[in-house]
Homo-oligomer: A and B are copies of this chain.
């Protein structure tokens, strides 16, 4: 396992909420990152689809990892926007994110979230946001 993947896995695992939901780094290569989340019952809303908040969690997190590839590990999501496009059904969700533009202290990133089953992947949400480098760990 390469170093970046190892580091990203450790970083994700250090988030209690990501462990609680069961998210995993599926891929990271310095340009793109993919975070996978097996879609179990607890992550759904009342109609059997993944809860929108699960999708927004995944998008937020994948955007942050994407920004971190450009800005270094001390980053946080300053803001993002998400459009939901389809109900999310399947066995897992996958959020794929990358950097659109990176300056010294901020990066603008995009993320597509897919619902995957044995046969296919379908886009279920798309997001765009700003990742900020932080000096310390405190948001200002």
Interface size range on A against B: 35 or more
How does the 8 Å CB contact mask read for A37-51 relative to B, with 1 for contact and 0 for none? 000011111110101
Q: Across the interface, which residues of B come within 8 angstroms of A87, CB to CB?
A: 137-139
Interface on chain A toward B: helix, strand, loop, or mixed SS?
Answer: mixed
| Count of identical protomers in the assembly | 4
**A78: Cβ under 8 A from any B Cβ:** yes
- Would you call B78 and A130 a contact (CB within 8 A)? yes
Contacting B at CB under 8 A, from A86-101, are: 86-87, 100-101
List chain A positions with a Cβ less than 8 A from chain B: 11, 14-20, 41-47, 49, 51-54, 56-58, 60-61, 64, 76-87, 100-101, 103-106, 108, 110, 112, 123, 126-128, 130, 137-140
